[in-house]
Amino acid sequence: MGKPTGFIDYLRELPLDRSAQERIKDWQEFHLHLDEAKLREQGARCMDCGIPFCHTGNLLGGMASGCPINNLIPEWNDLVYRGLWHEALYRLHKTNNFPEFTGRVCPAPCEGSCVLGLNSPPVTIKNIECSIADRGWDEGWITVDAPSIRTGKKVAVVGSGPSGLCAAAQLNKVGHSVTVFERTDRIGGLLMYGIPNMKLDKSLVQRRVDILTKEGVTFLTDTEVGKTYAAERLLKEFDAVVLCTGATKPRDLPIEGRSLRGIHFAMEFLQANTKSLLDGHATADFISAEGKDVVIIGGGDTGTDCVGTSMRHGCKSLLQVEILPKPPMNRAQDNPWPEWPKVYKMDYGQEEAAAKYGADPRVYMTTAKGFESDPEGRVKAIRLVQIEWKKNEKGQFFPQEIPGTERVHETQIVLLAMGFLGPDQPLLEQLGVERDARSNAKADHGSYQTNLKGVFAAGDARRGQSLVVWAFNEGRGAARECDRYLMGTTNLP
């Protein structure tokens, strides 16, 4: 590397965020930016470590270790240190179609497996990635690059989320005519309607969509395959199909009072909020948390986004219920490097709630037993109980209630953020696509081929709920195998 002692000379430094009290008043992105000199110093911290685990993209302990799209991280870190930003962008685009997205919303498993992280704070990989991409846009280096030759092959991509956009970009790059079907009114799927504006400004998504459109990709919005567009038409009118519909079936909570008004799935809340912001007025399905006592059941990114959105609505109070134990402050003995570090942290939403209410809004080892109703059939309270994790005779952990710990918490809006159970089934059923035991489209990772000839599946629709960067991995991989199917060979990575 250009600065062999960089990891000794410079401390880890991230840009400041806008203050929590300030940013909850608007929907603008909350991250600020480091100047170029500081970014070059951070790039210099990347070690000449011999084996850069940061870009391995393995699964260890069921979690990503290193970058699933195998970003050439040491290379572009060194290029940033040298001030060669255009070259860094070129390296970044070799493995990542949309680095401005992952640079904002990816949880950075690369940093969890950074070799420097063995005994020091890891390299600020995510921030450097985002800075390279943003610099590329600012300098006008990211431009339309349409293919010079068309193959005459037509490919349908169903779903315009992260895996669908990557598949479409890659397939279009090699000259196929790509049509992307999206059932909502805007392109982007999870990137558009699943991630709030303060984490990913929607103008950034639209900017990429505009580039892809100019490069020749056709986007059809308000078109739900299987409803407004017959599923069998895909097989008749296209030479190949890539299913990237996501895992949109939410996990429910079938307890007493679930049918009361005021209890919503997290995505109903988040999607309606984003659409209202983009449309410039509250839509018919908009759900407001203003002035209400909000309870969010479930953690993870979706739960955090519900916290941040509720804070911006001006909620009266906020409680986030997690059934798992509170993570330790440092890696546990059974969570060694380079596994993803399962340690305690406050994400942006919890930081905002703590700034306003004085404490992290999360309660751990707690579950819901039921909901209580007001006279109009709306939720007025939730019954909570503390649990402890026990092992059954098979050695499997299960939650057991602790007697005497039940309590009632007042609430007028409950958001269920407990994950997803797989893709919507009607389209898969109409096409005759086989499902695995978890109801996902059955296709092997690496081949992405379903039981139907020329029909591929990728992203959450194939693997279940996962990270955006895994969706990128799968969208690119499915494009490669689809191109191989159509042409007999492929040059796609």
- The pLDDT value recorded for residue 340 is 92
Kindly report the length of the chain: 493
**Element of type H or E holding 80:** helix 73-81
Model confidence at 367: pLDDT above 90: yes
pLDDT in tens, 457-490: 999 999 999 999 999 999 999 999 999 999 999 9
Tokens 């790059």 found at = 173
Distance separating alpha carbons of residues 298 and 312, to the nearest angstrom: 19
The HSE-up count of residue 118 (CA atoms within 13 Å, CB side) is 8
- The pLDDT value recorded for residue 493 is 93
Contacting residues for 55 by C-beta, under 8 A, at least 6 apart: 66, 67, 70, 71, 72, 73, 74, 110
Q: What is the mean pLDDT of residues 354-372?
A: 97
Distance separating alpha carbons of residues 321 and 399, to the nearest angstrom: 14
Residue 318 in contact with residue 361, Cβ under 8 Å? yes
Outline where 215-347 has alpha helix (H). 231-237, 266-279, 300-313
Nearest 5 degrees, angle CA 369-CA 371-CA 376?
Answer: 170
Distance separating alpha carbons of residues 323 and 297, to the nearest angstrom: 9
Model confidence at 66: pLDDT above 90: yes
DSSP assignment of 194-237, as one string? IS-TTTS-HHHHHHHHHHHHHTT-EEE-S--BTTTB-HHHHHHH
Tell me the Cα Rg of the chain.
23
Q: What is the mean pLDDT of residues 334-343?
A: 93
Domains of the chain (ranges, CATH numbers): 6-138 (1.10.1060.10), 154-248+421-487 (3.50.50.60), 263-416 (3.50.50.60)
- The pLDDT value recorded for residue 221 is 98
pLDDT in tens, 69-118: 999 999 999 999 999 999 999 999 999 999 999 999 999 999 999 999 99
**pLDDT band (50, 70, 90) for residue 377:** very high
Torsion sign over Cα 61, 67, 70, 75: negative
- The pLDDT value recorded for residue 63 is 87
Model confidence at 50: pLDDT above 90: no
Count the Cβ atoms, other than its own, within 10 Å of residue 385: 18
Amino acid type, 303: G
Between the alpha carbon of residue 483 and those of residues 11, 152, 441, 449, the distances in Å are: 45, 12, 20, 12
Distance separating alpha carbons of residues 173 and 194, to the nearest angstrom: 27
What average pLDDT does the chain have? 96
Q: What is the mean pLDDT of residues 293-312?
A: 96
**pLDDT band (50, 70, 90) for residue 394:** confident
Residue 57 in contact with residue 473, Cβ under 8 Å? yes
Model confidence at 1: pLDDT above 80: no
**pLDDT band (50, 70, 90) for residue 2:** confident
Under the phi-then-psi rule, with left for phi > 0, alpha for psi from -120 to 50, and beta for the rest, what region is 419? left
Distance separating alpha carbons of residues 480 and 101, to the nearest angstrom: 21
**pLDDT band (50, 70, 90) for residue 67:** very high
Distance separating alpha carbons of residues 395 and 397, to the nearest angstrom: 7
Distance separating alpha carbons of residues 207 and 292, to the nearest angstrom: 36
Nearest to 459 by CA among 239, 233, 164: 164
> Strand, helix or coil at 313?
helix
Between the alpha carbon of residue 73 and those of residues 8, 57, 97, 472, 492, the distances in Å are: 19, 12, 15, 16, 20
Distance separating alpha carbons of residues 169 and 178, to the nearest angstrom: 9
- The pLDDT value recorded for residue 235 is 93
Residue 279 in contact with residue 390, Cβ under 8 Å? no
Least confident interval from 91-100, 159-168, 394-403: 394-403
Model confidence at 162: pLDDT above 90: yes
Percentage of residues of the chain with pLDDT beyond 70: 100
Nearest to 154 by CA among 217, 214, 213, 209: 217
Nearest to 339 by CA among 64, 116, 118: 64
Distance separating alpha carbons of residues 475 and 171, to the nearest angstrom: 10
Amino acid type, 123: V
Residue 355 in contact with residue 347, Cβ under 8 Å? no
- The pLDDT value recorded for residue 3 is 87
Q: What is the mean pLDDT of residues 137-143?
A: 98
> Strand, helix or coil at 274?
helix
- The pLDDT value recorded for residue 395 is 86
- The pLDDT value recorded for residue 105 is 96
Q: Is the whole-model pTM more than 0.75?
A: yes
Q: What is the mean pLDDT of residues 379-396?
A: 94
Outline where 113-161 has alpha helix (H). 125-138
> Strand, helix or coil at 63?
strand
Task: Say if residue 291 is exposed, middle or buried (CB neighbours under 10 Å; 0-12, 13-18, 19+).
Answer: exposed
